[in-house]
Every structure is written in C-alpha cells, then in structure tokens.
Amino acid sequence: MKYISPGSWFSLEYPDNWCEAEEAEDCFLFYNPEKWNGNFRISAYQGENRNYAKDCMADELRHTSGSKPVKVGAWDCVYFAEAFNEEGTDYVSHIWITGCGSISVECSFTVRKGDSPKPGEDIVASLRVRQPDEKPWHDVIPVRVLEINTINEGYDWAVSTLKKQLSKDFTAHETDIANLQRMVDEGKFKPGNRQAWENFGIAFGTILVNEMDGMDWVTVIDGKKEYPALRFADTRLMVYPVSLIWNKVSRGEPCDLKAEYLRIRREAEAVI
C-alpha cells in the first residue's frame, strides 16, 4: 500500500494488511490491526538549508549513545534502539534518522523485545522524499486518516441536517437519494454555500459505497490539491462526490442525483 503524507513531503509503502491510525499531529502511525507485529511511526521536518538532513544525522551520532550509521535500502541512516517496559511487557523501539536535502525524517518501529525489526526496515527502504524544487506529485492512494476525518465530519453534518430539515433518518442507502434531492430542490441552502453542498456530496458518496461492492474512498493527490474521492475496485473509474453536487448547484445547472447514481452504477457494471 502506498502512502503520501499531507503536503507530499514524503511517500512510503507499507504491507497490504496494515493500516494508518490516528497519531499526534505531524506524526503518522501504521500497524497491522489483525495481528500486531509492531507500530511504525514517521515524522518529517523541513530545515532552512539543503544540509539539514545530514546535519540532523550528524547531530544524532554526536549526542545519542549507541547510535551508528547504517544503510537501509538506498538510504544513509543513523540507527539506535531504545528499550522500555509497559504493563509488564518488554519492548524495543528501533529508530532511524535519515532524509534528503532540507527534509529530515525520523522513523521508528516498536516491537516486543526479541521480535524482528525487518518490517520497519522494509518501510524505511521504500521511503521517498520530495524536495521543494521537485514537481508536485499526482497519485491516488488508499484513503488517509486526514480524509477519513473530513468524510466523517461531512457525513455527520449531512445526517444531522437532514434530520433537522426533513425529520428523516439517513441510512446511506439508495432510498435516501430522494431526501438528498429534496435538499437540492427546495432551496433551503444558498447556491454559494459550498461547505453544505460538499457535505451532501459526501453523504451521496457514502450511499455509493454502501450500495456498490468495490466502491471505496481513496485520497487523490493532485499537486497542491488533496481530497477524498471514490474509486471502483482497482479500475480507473473514479467518482468525485465532494464536488459532484457543489459544481452543479454553484453553476445553476440541474442536479439529478438518481440519474447520477444510475449512471455511476452502469459505469461500474461495465468495467467488472
């Protein structure tokens, strides 16, 4: 699985059966939720000059006991380990300081004492760091925690609003399209209320996910733009629910959500 950090500072690859999880700001956590074999964390820092990454590694070698230079894949790293005990279990955090130019990267892989650090090393080896003068990246990756939070917030707002405005429960199934259509048609929100229309689009996207096997949320990296979208299985069929309603309403164009739903379903069936 490929991951690109917010702002496209770095990318990495992690095992298919792992996932991203909530962590502190500017620190990204990955682990296997089914059979835990370690927590991988990564943070990136930008310095003021192109020697910042090398300076950080040199500083770590000078001041951290037990640190040593190592090679992980193509990366020159400074490695050290920290042991600790938590609730009676011994753990070891394997830590690599690396980076390129003005970007310093700190990676850690925490495992039970005696377990192999190799899964963490493999992720470090897959690391790619984008430099400020490098062209923006364009890619589609599994949905990140950042976009999951955006989706959840938009969906919760839409559900609450539909309940308040129409006294209707929203279950995110095909029958709910009619209630979303009422919100479009009845003029309860101004055409320029972009956030409202984007949230209703997220609710529409959730219907697509629930009704079409293989339709899943992804994160689109489009240069400086990063946003959630839907992709059908591993095909090229993409749907952009966040902008679907907003674009039509803001331009004063007709927005027939049932017709959009049927069109998308036909396209999905055509690529199976």
- Extract the tokens encoding 44: 């990136």
User: Where do you find CATH 1.20.120.1090 in the chain?
Assistant: 142-271
CATH number of 2-134: 3.40.1000.10
Cα atoms in the Cβ-side hemisphere of radius 13 Å centred on 204: 32
pTM reported for the whole predicted model: 0.92
Higher pLDDT, 187 or 247: 247
Say how far apart CA 176 and CA 173 lie, in whole Å: 6
Cα angle: 230, vertex 234, 240; to 5 degrees: 15
Q: What is the CA radius of gyration of the chain?
A: 23
The mean pLDDT value for 206-228 works out to 97
User: Where do you find CATH 3.40.1000.10 in the chain?
Assistant: 2-134
In contact, 215 and 208? CB cutoff 8 Å = yes
- Please write the tens of the pLDDT for every residue from 73-129: 999 999 999 999 999 999 999 999 999 999 999 999 999 999 999 999 999 999 999
The mean pLDDT value for 17-46 works out to 94
142-271 CATH, one of 3.90.1640.30, 1.20.120.1090, 3.55.40.20, 3.30.43.10: 1.20.120.1090
Say how far apart CA 69 and CA 55 lie, in whole Å: 13
